[in-house]
């Protein structure tokens, strides 16, 4: 099958972003010893996705581009926040201390 969408640079970029998010999520959950198919994750993932989308949109409006690598990191920070809000133990220091990402999330959550 011919993948016409795959020739579009914006589609290729988004595929790389999603790939980075999946890899970052997998590593993060493994570090927390949470199985990726734990049924409690579904609402957390949905909340994290919404928070990620709001953060991504704010960064775009402000002209603060987010790289593929930063997108994965941003998503993991969003997921960590939602996991904590749902009672999961997410130890302080498990996430990389990335002030640019933390600052963006603070703005979105105001």
In the 3-class helix/strand/coil scheme, how is 69-107 assigned residue by residue? Answer: HHHHHHHHHHHHHHHHHCCCCCCCCCCCCCHHHHHHHHH
What is the pLDDT tens value at each position of the chain, 110 positions in all?
566 666 788 888 888 888 989 999 999 999 999 999 999 999 999 999 999 999 999 999 999 888 878 899 999 999 999 999 999 999 988 988 889 999 999 999 99
User: How far apart, in Å, do the first and last CA atoms of the chain sit?
Assistant: 46
Number of domains in the chain: 1
pTM above 0.95, yes or no: no
Q: Which residues contact 102 (CB under 8 A, 6 or more apart)?
A: 77
81: domain range? Answer: 5-108
């Amino acid at each position: 099958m011919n993948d016409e969408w795959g020739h579009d640079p914006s589609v290729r970029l988004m595929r790389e972003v999603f790939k980075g998010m999946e890899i970052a999520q997998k590593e993060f959950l493994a570090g927390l010893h949470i199985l990726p198919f734990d049924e409690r994750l579904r609402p957390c993932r949905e909340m994290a996705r919404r928070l990620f989308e709001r953060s991504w949109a704010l960064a775009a409006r402000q002209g603060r581009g987010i790289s593929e690598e930063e997108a994965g990191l941003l998503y993991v920070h969003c997921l960590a926040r939602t996991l904590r809000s749902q009672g999961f133990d997410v130890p302080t220091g498990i996430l990389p201390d990335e002030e640019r990402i933390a600052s963006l999330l603070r703005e979105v959550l105001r």
